[in-house]
Amino acid sequence: MAWYRTLGLQEFIYIALFVVLYGLFVWRTLRLARLLKSPGSYVLGKLIVRSLYMALLIVAFLGPTLGKIKQEVKAMGKDIYIAVDLSQSMNAIDVSPSRLEKVRFELNNLLNLLGGDRQGLIIFSDEAFLQCPLTYDQGAISLFVETLSTKTLDGGGTDLAQPLRLALGRFAKSETQESAKAVVLVSDGENFGKDLDAVLEDLERAHVKVFTVGVGTLEGSAIPSGNQLLLDEDGKQVISKLNAAPLREIARRTAGRYYELSRTTNGFPALGRDLQALQGQVIEVKKMDIAANKYTYALAIALLLVLLDVMVPVRILRLKTR
Note the pLDDT of residue 78.
86
Quote the CA–CA distance of 188 and 102 in Å, as a whole number: 13
* % of the chain surpassing 90 pLDDT: 43
Which helix or strand (DSSP H or E) is residue 2 part of?
Answer: strand 2-3
Per-residue model confidence as pLDDT tens digits over 39-75: 656 667 777 777 888 888 877 777 777 655 555 555 5
* Buried residues in 28-41 as b, exposed as e (16+ CB within 10 A): ebbeebeeeebebe
Look up the CATH superfamily of 74-284. von Willebrand factor, type A domain (3.40.50.410)
Residue 267: per-residue pLDDT = 96
pLDDT, tens digit, 9 for 90 and up, residues 81-104: 999 999 999 999 999 999 999 999
Average pLDDT taken over every residue of the chain: 83
According to DSSP, residue 115 is labeled: T
Check pLDDT > 60 for residue 289.
no
pLDDT at site 105: 95
Find, among 53, 45, 67, 51, the residue nearest to 298 by Cα.
53
What does the pLDDT read at residue 265? 94
Report pLDDT for 173: 83
The DSSP line for 251-301 is HHHTT-EEEEESSS-B-HHHHHHHHHHS-PEEEEEEEEEEEEE-HHHHHHH
Q: Of 138, 6, 108, give the one whose Cα is nearest residue 65.
A: 6
Cα separation, 161 vs 183, in Å, equals 12
| pLDDT tens, residue by residue, 177-216 | 566 899 999 999 888 878 899 999 999 999 999 999 999 9
154-173 pLDDT tens trace: 766 789 999 999 999 999 88
What are the sequence ranges of the domains in the chain? 2-63+294-311, 74-284
When comparing pLDDT for 300 and 279, which is higher? Answer: 300
- How large is the average pLDDT for residues 255-278? 94
